[in-house]
Structure 1
């Protein structure tokens, strides 16, 4: 068991908040690096460093902590020397998996995981010629050495705005199709050494009042559960990394599945694992960091997580439920209600 007394967290989001809560149970102190004072994890951490998230500030955080978890989906580029000298999760090319869309698409293609159609180019003139031949809408990435800009292009005006903002210091460009999806499914996965463990597939749905419902497990066939878990495991097994990841997939009308993105374990529905699985994702992530075993996440009872605005009372589920109140920076606070749900009959096809 590794001796972890102080844990550094980069980004004050929901994942950081839940890790702070779990760390307190283990008498591990937490130091948060987040520029915003009013953030979700601010009250749960032991120390809050209000500074921009850069390689220099993360280096200073490393001096105060035994290990670091990158909770933000847009971390800065960290030098390979720094990554090797410090304990950071996700480690190694896991940082590329969460912070570089080109790397995600390339890794998925090598592992035969379906993705939206895309075109990647490091020659600007060739890129512009190709862009003229692609139908709207599409997503444009302008990639620099240490960051990238993203623009969704739905109209010719959007495209003209992008062309006006072209920066000569950009080194790569990526065009990716924007597709309509009927369903949104996600898989949470942990990797420790060569072992990859996943939790059951979750599904997100919105009603007409923009209330989000997250179901775990998702109401899909066993074949779909197996397929998405296999996709996540294939990508992680081919990556030199350890840590917690979320794989989000879109399902088209023809039931074709495409990888939408990979994040560092940022999923609202994962809170349900605190109550309706044998081990929560946060327990398992700290087990990984402390050198303890990890295992497949097993659902004890199916659950529904409801995400609603603070003043919305008519969508609160019937008791009993678990309630979480979250302040979101300067945005309207939200409440999460997590309750047991009924398993539907298994679908025959997907």
Structure 2
């Protein structure tokens, strides 16, 4: 029996829930801090502190209940980490990965500086600077808010000049204009660096989106072994050269065998949920092992897999699901089913990848 360790988690959504589920298997106690009284993470955590992320009383309670603290989303205020470190709490990831991933320009500049290829980009503040940047970059391009956007929100495709007038500008927001890459594949790699210095990467996933939201991830990705090996190498380089610890989900575009960094998130990643049923260890297991200083094991893909997201509009379909062999359904337990809200996922496992894709498509 392993010694019981207490893990604190900032955030209480589905990622926190799945971290807590892994912690139970490993005999760790978990406490989540989340302002939402209905957060689904409470279904698996040992304790739920209902407080804002800058609530000193709540953070003090978290400190009392945790030996080590991690986070499940990238928009945790940096001041929160500052306070916890002031309280001498062990936060292996620190705030550096948050600082980078919370701002798209900082993120892009950091990876570009270490020699990783990105799409051409410019900083934009208003319509005048946008027009100037478009002269330099050209169409098609995509404008994104530098912070706060997710699942296609805060983004505008600019195919020609008339799209400029569709943008909803905000005075207190910074923007990034990126040259749109006509990629053949979008892929992602979950890489985790432990406090021991060990670095492991999970198999590359091929991502298919609908309406700007991840629909399914296909593993192994339908790319060459050479490209897969290069993506794994780049991912390990990013965590090492940027001195990042813990999990990092990194998205890439592939165009004519060229690999372009898209974005990263210092937490478990939706595209790596397949690891729960198709690998010898899940991303959540390795996240915990990494921050707790355990030696990281070799990751093995045990079966081919297609991960399909279940959205709020799929509620009636879920009620009619007929469980099949090698079909693993994970429902997060969120209180309300809403359109475009991630409510769960299904992992279709087997040896015939095209058959698994058809099954996911026909859900």
TM-score by length of 2: 0.77
CA distance in 1 between counterparts of 2:53 and 2:285 reads: 26
CA distance in 2 between counterparts of 1:119 and 1:48 reads: 42
CA distance in 1 between counterparts of 2:241 and 2:132 reads: 31
- 1:35-46 matches, within 5 Å, as 35-46=35-46
Q: Is the partner of 1:336 in helix, strand or coil?
A: strand
* 1:295-316 per-position Cα deviation (integer Å, ceiling 9, x unaligned): 3421122222222323226886
Q: Is the partner of 1:120 in helix, strand or coil?
A: strand
Select which of 320, 326, 351 maps to 1:342: 351
Post-superposition shift, 1:184?
A: 2.1
1:31 corresponds to which residue?
31
Higher relative contact order (CA 8 A, sep 6+): 1
In structure 2, relative to structure 1, the CA distance for the partners of 1:120 and 1:329 (3 Å cut) is farther
User: How many residues matched?
Assistant: 332
Q: Is the partner of 1:259 in helix, strand or coil?
A: strand
Select which of 155, 168, 171 maps to 1:166: 171
Which one is further off, 71-80 or 291-300? 71-80
Is 1:240 the counterpart of 2:243 in the alignment?
yes
Q: Is the partner of 1:274 in helix, strand or coil?
A: helix
* 1:187-225 per-position Cα deviation (integer Å, ceiling 9, x unaligned): 0111124332101101122589x9933222212111111
- 1:91-170 matches, within 5 Å, as 91-120=94-123, 127=129, 130-131=132-133, 133=135, 135=139, 137-141=141-145, 151-154=154-157, 155-159=163-167, 161-162=168-169, 165-167=170-172
Q: Is the partner of 1:240 in helix, strand or coil?
A: coil
Which one is further off, 194-203 or 282-291? 282-291
Contact 2:40/2:335 (<8 A) preserved: yes
Post-superposition shift, 1:148?
A: 9.0
In structure 2, relative to structure 1, the CA distance for the partners of 1:223 and 1:241 (3 Å cut) is same
Contact 1:196/1:233 (<8 A) preserved: yes
Contact 2:105/2:146 (<8 A) preserved: no
In structure 2, relative to structure 1, the CA distance for the partners of 1:47 and 1:315 (3 Å cut) is closer
Select which of 184, 191, 194 maps to 1:192: 194
The CA RMSD measured in Å over matched residues stands at: 3.5
* 1:235-278 per-position Cα deviation (integer Å, ceiling 9, x unaligned): 111123310110011234x4433222111233234333233222
Is 1:286 the counterpart of 2:292 in the alignment?
no
1:73 corresponds to which residue?
74
CA distance in 2 between counterparts of 1:103 and 1:55 reads: 27
In structure 2, relative to structure 1, the CA distance for the partners of 1:327 and 1:148 (3 Å cut) is closer
In structure 2, relative to structure 1, the CA distance for the partners of 1:63 and 1:211 (3 Å cut) is closer
Which one is further off, 77-86 or 88-97? 77-86
Contact 1:219/1:344 (<8 A) preserved: no
CA distance in 2 between counterparts of 1:20 and 1:117 reads: 39
TM-score by length of 1: 0.80
Which one is further off, 40-49 or 313-322? 313-322
Structure with bigger helix share is 2
In structure 2, relative to structure 1, the CA distance for the partners of 1:152 and 1:282 (3 Å cut) is closer
2:337 corresponds to which residue?
331
CA distance in 1 between counterparts of 2:149 and 2:273 reads: 30
CA distance in 2 between counterparts of 1:33 and 1:287 reads: 21
* 1:117-176 per-position Cα deviation (integer Å, ceiling 9, x unaligned): 11237x989956744635464324367xxx8998423422234x41xx323xx7x65433
CA distance in 1 between counterparts of 2:181 and 2:253 reads: 9
Q: Is the partner of 1:18 in helix, strand or coil?
A: helix
Contact 1:139/1:176 (<8 A) preserved: yes
Could you list the runs of 5+ residues in structure 2 that have no partner in the other structure? Answer: 158-162, 355-363
* 1:44-85 per-position Cα deviation (integer Å, ceiling 9, x unaligned): 112212222337477433343111111112221236575473
Which one is further off, 214-223 or 73-82? 73-82
Q: Is the partner of 1:224 in helix, strand or coil?
A: helix
